[in-house]
Amino acid sequence: MKRRPLIAGNWKMHTTTVEARELATAIAVICAGLDDRDVLLSPPYTVLRDVAECVSRTGIIVAAQNVCWEEKGAYTGEISPIMVRAAGGSAAIVGHSERRQIFLETDELVNRRLTGALASGLMVILCIGETLAEREGGDTFAVLERQVRKGLAGIGGEAMVGVVIAYEPVWAIGTGKTASKEQAQEVHAFIRSLLAAIYGKNIADQTRILYGGSVKPANIDELMAQPDIDGALVGGAALDAQSFGRIITFR
């Protein structure tokens, strides 16, 4: 089953307005003419509109790094799906490990975010991943199954067209340690079989599963050659147009 590759850049808490516009513009130039893959940029909220402007009419998707489930209200510090859309975004990341680990977001909270975002028409990247202790304790698959089942609770098969899963082993994020292509493929195949058990084979075959965790120009090609790896969620290397450009143009 051929799935359209998706390369996503998570800028985390980086870039002021000038930096964001420069980076987005440089990436837009690299993407010109690339029509067999999707590219997504996820800048901080404060520059969402700037980035959307810089990449308008390029097909590059602009995503928020998190999103609230409500449209508006007393939720200090949160941003709603309609605000993301009004700023030019069409997608959101939820459940990133930094949100889970540093800000103590639970599977239930992640599920509320995902449900609200999908309901308002945003594409959602649901991040899942085990910690080093969980991997070493032999709990990787159990943790991922819990994160998938709870993260997608209440989401019907028809809504899965708007969902992308990102497998990001926590021990590989920002550490320079990448999961080997075999380790990543093993987990991606597991996630796809889990999706098949929940939603059936067709939906599992259509759902894109990204790998994230120290993806670099040097390892993107071998990762993308794996049958169940449909793209990458890139942190550090997404902040440099040349590196990200090489990742986008994987072979």
Q: Does 10 bind ligand PEP (CB under 6 A)?
A: yes
| Cβ(62)–Cβ(41) below 8 Å | yes
Give me the least distance between CB of 183 and ligand PEP, in Å please.
15
Q: Does 124 bind ligand PEP (CB under 6 A)?
A: no
State how far the Cα of 134 lies from the Cα of 42, in Å rounded to an integer: 28
- Tokens encoding 116: 């609200």
- Interaction mask 227-246, ligand PEP, x per CB under 6 A: ------xxxxx---------
Q: Of these residues, 96, 105, 130, 134, which one is catalytic?
A: 96
Q: Is 14 annotated in the active site?
A: no
Candidates 49-57, 64-72, 141-149, 206-214: pick the segment binding ligand PEP (CB under 6 A).
206-214
Q: Name the one residue in this structure whose structure tokens are 């700023």.
A: 87
| Cβ(41)–Cβ(63) below 8 Å | yes
Among 213, 219, 231, 250, binds ligand PEP (CB under 6 A): 213
**Residue 215 burial (C-beta neighbours within 10 Å; 0-12, 13-18, 19+):** buried
Cβ proximity to ligand PEP, 174 vs 200, nearer residue = 174
Cβ proximity to ligand PEP, 117 vs 203, nearer residue = 117
Report how many residues bind ligand PEP under the rule CB under 6 A: 14
Task: State the residue number with the nearest CB to ligand PEP.
Answer: 235
Site for ligand PEP in 163-182 (CB under 6 A): 168, 173-174
Question: Between helices 140-151 and 107-119, what is the axis angle to 10°?
Answer: 40
State how far the Cα of 114 lies from the Cα of 126, in Å rounded to an integer: 7
Sequence-distant (≥ 6) Cβ neighbours of residue 57 within 8 angstroms: none
CA 245 to mean position of chain CA atoms: 17
Annotated catalytic residues are 96, 168
By CB under 6 A, name the binding residues for ligand PEP. 10, 12, 168, 173-174, 212-215, 233-237
